[in-house]
Amino acid sequence: MKRLKDLITLVSIALGIAAVSREMKRPRPERSWQGSVMGVPYDLRFPPTLSRIRERWWNRDDPRLFTPHVFGVGWSVNLYQLSQHLHCASEDEEQRAA
């Protein structure tokens, strides 16, 4: 299990370095500090804003369960969508029990 954790840490660091490198290669006016590297999203805009936190962690209008991190490389969980999935699952179980 420790090897898996070490591998995940190593991959995360490598993706972070790749994201920063990608942005630094762009001319200063063209740097957005957000995008994706090897299919993994990144958002390096600092500091994270309250609206971005809400957009990624509690967004009724975004059907995705996994959204880009508020800050960093990878994905966060849209807790609104998770709550809807859990609510639907509990309704299904109630119907089966009845």
**What confidence tens digit (pLDDT) does each residue in 1-15 have?**
889 999 999 999 999
pLDDT (tens digit per residue) in 57-74: 999 999 999 999 999 999
Residue 58's CB is within 10 A of a number of other CB atoms, namely 14
Question: If you write DSSP's letter for every residue of 18-41 in order, what string do you get?
Answer: HHHHHHHHS-GGG--SEEEETTEE
Give the residue extent of every domain in the chain: 2-97
* Among the listed residues 54, 27, 62, 22, the one whose alpha carbon sits nearest the alpha carbon of residue 38: 22
Q: Is 90 exceeded by the pLDDT of residue 98?
A: no
Task: Please report which confidence band the pLDDT of residue 88 belongs to, taking 50, 70 and 90 as the band edges.
Answer: confident
What pLDDT sits at residue 1? 86
